[in-house]
Amino acid sequence: MDITRLKDDVSELLEEQVETLALSAEEGIMAGYSISYESPALTVAIPGGWRIVILNTINPGEQLEIVAHELGHLLLKAEGLYDVKLTEDWSEKYLTSQINSVIAHHFLIERLLSEYAIPSTYHLELQKNILATGEELIKDAGDEPLILHGIGLRLLDLIINTDGEEDRIRELLTCSEQIVKAFELGEELLVYPIHQLPAEDQYRRIKDFFQRLGYKNLPIRLSGR
């Protein structure tokens, strides 16, 4: 794992420093960071750079992988890939996190492995949790389209980046038409041919995705470098 070179490359491209902070889940809550075994890392902007906050109760190898994953997102951002932002509403944040995953992961996972010899084993195992709990998650979502659409995108993310899970993914897709719709629209609009599309093309794809799912008035923002 050449994580030092990855961090140096990110800092050089962004022209900003990147620091890492390892905390327990309880310490994270006290500091205003929501980290857990299900979501063990996040990246926040700080004056002069970026802070990657990771869960310190997973093993050292897993910690390195999740730091590399967050650095990978920053690397793509530095090269012109935009994130989607909505509001702080939990359901909207869930959907946007899945949109950003689909947009980035098929570039990020391959790039980490080919250029830095860093696998994404731990991240993909976390993503696969939905294969065991999918029906329960869908039941809990009820008729909430934001969550159902997010589930559809998470299944798309898995089918793109994992092998051997297609039958189970297709089984979960049969649970809801809303899930299928988000999956199919995501495949059409959010799987970019290259990650350095012009900003206006990225915005058009994302706006089309929302509108064709029936979201007409969401305050869509793109976040780049």
CA distance 83 to 90: 17
Q: Where are the domains positioned within the chain?
A: 3-78, 83-223
Terminal CA-CA length for the chain: 26
Q: What is the pLDDT of residue 91?
A: 85
Amino acid identity of residue 52, one-letter, is I
Taking all residues of the chain, what is their mean pLDDT, rounded to a whole number?
Answer: 93
Crossing angle (nearest 10°) for helices 90-116 and 60-78:
100
Q: What is the pLDDT of residue 24?
A: 95
pLDDT tops 90 at residue 58: yes
Q: What is the pLDDT of residue 27?
A: 95
Crossing angle (nearest 10°) for helices 129-141 and 145-161:
160
Largest CA distance in the chain: 47
CA distance 101 to 223: 14
Helix (H, G, I), strand (E, B) or coil at 194: coil
Radius of gyration (Cα) for the chain, nearest Å?
Answer: 17
Q: Cα torsion for 34, 26, 51, 160, to the nearest 10°?
A: -50
**Residues contacting residue 71 through CB under 8 Å, at least 6 positions apart:** 3, 6, 7, 10, 18, 52
Q: Which residues of 21-47 are buried (b: 16+ CB within 10 A; e: fewer)?
A: bbbeeeebeeeebebeeeebbbbeeee
pLDDT band at 90 (very low <50, low <70, confident <90, very high): confident
Contact 190, 209 (CB under 8 A): yes
pTM: predicted TM-score of the whole model, two decimal places: 0.92
pLDDT band at 219 (very low <50, low <70, confident <90, very high): confident
Q: What is the pLDDT of residue 89?
A: 77
**Residues contacting residue 97 through CB under 8 Å, at least 6 positions apart:** 150
Residue 75 Cα to chain centre, angstroms: 14
CATH number of 3-78: 3.30.2010
Q: What is the pLDDT of residue 86?
A: 80
Q: What is the mean pLDDT of residues 47-51?
A: 94
